[in-house]
Amino acid sequence: MVVLIACLSLFSAALAQDRRWAANATIGTVHLSDTTSLDAMGAVLEFRALQWLTLGAAPTLVRRTAGAQTTSGFGDLPLTAAASKQLGTAWGPELAAAVTLTVPTGNAACGLGSGVSSVGVDAGAGISPAERVHVSMDASRSLSAVTLSSLDAPQSTWLDLDADVDVTGRLTASASLGGDFGGVDTAAAAREVGAGARYSLSGPLALSVDVTHRLSGAAPTWGLAVTLGTATSGLSALDPSSPLWHQRQVFVGGVNSRGRGKAGTGC
């Protein structure tokens, strides 16, 4: 994380005059069971090509621990193009959509990534019913045989409902509810909640801390994500403040549960 923050600081300083570029650094961890957990360090690089179009990339280092087995290394690389449009009417409704191409840069033999290219889509809509309140819904799904995130169920659609409240001019509180729908194993469909806070440090630079908790199914028992940076949307079409989205984003292109690590070592 220290290296990511240092790189982010240099990047921000070098491009301070060009607001088309933005970047985030994130560390995340999720507890899947008493013996299995995932940890990740990731970065998001954004370029606003047009007022309505943002391009992004999200390299990630992932470590999976399952009992005495540990697998670690770079996961696959997601590349995203996201389009958004804010309508100039009451409640400021916003529509957004994104396409994600995941490039197989990870070592699939060790369980790092899927080993194949994949495509996914994301769409959402949001409104601001009050000056300090924003509510949005986001849906994402892989169009390929592999999932968009290490935390997704195969052949499922992820739905996320998020509410943000501007507590002060710098502090925003968020809460989200989400889960998998329509997957292969509907009995184990994940349902979870999340809560978080985002604090603006200086200009566009902000720090976010998010926690999540399982309600039912195959969702992580708990999760934690800490994000520092200037990127507002990350790889999301619409939900930059959603705690559940922050958790899923850091594990996009992460691990393949069918892979094998070496006992007590990295693969």
Burial 58-70 (b: 16+ CB within 10 A, else e): bbbbbbbbbeebb
Residue with tokens 């994130």: 26
The burial of 202, by beta-carbon neighbours within 10 Å (0-12 exposed, 13-18 middle, 19 or more buried), is given as exposed
Banded pLDDT at 185 (limits 50, 70, 90): confident
Instruction: Please state the φ and ψ torsions of residue 256, each to the nearest 5 degrees.
Output: -110, 115
Position 254 pLDDT exceeds 70: no
Of the candidates 233, 195, 207, 187, the one whose C-alpha atom is nearest the C-alpha of residue 46 is 233
Q: Which amino acid does the sequence have at 13?
A: A
Domains and CATH numbers, the chain: 2-254 (2.40.160.40)
Q: Are 246 and 26 in contact (CB under 8 A)?
A: yes
Q: What is the mean pLDDT of the chain?
A: 84
Q: Report the pLDDT averaged over residues 37-44.
A: 92
- In this prediction, what percent of the chain has a pLDDT beyond 70? 85
Banded pLDDT at 234 (limits 50, 70, 90): low
Of residues 159 and 15, the one with the higher pLDDT is 159
Residue 7 pLDDT: 54
Element (H, E) at 179: strand 171-181
Residue 258 pLDDT: 45
Q: Are 163 and 196 in contact (CB under 8 A)?
A: no
Q: Could you give the CA distance from residue 209 to residue 138 in angstroms, rounded to a whole number?
A: 20
Least confident of 109-113, 117-121, 172-176, 242-246: 109-113
Residue 256 pLDDT: 61
Residue 11 pLDDT: 52
Q: Take residue 211 and report the two structure tokens written for it.
A: 């926690």
Q: Could you give the CA distance from residue 126 to residue 160 in angstroms, rounded to a whole number?
A: 12
Q: Report the pLDDT averaged over residues 189-201.
A: 95
Neighbouring-strand partners of residue 139: 123, 159
CA distance from start to end of the chain? 21
Q: Take residue 51 and report the two structure tokens written for it.
A: 């007022």
Pairing of strands 21-31, 205-216: unpaired
Neighbouring-strand partners of residue 172: 166, 198
Banded pLDDT at 212 (limits 50, 70, 90): very high
Whole-model pTM: value is: 0.85
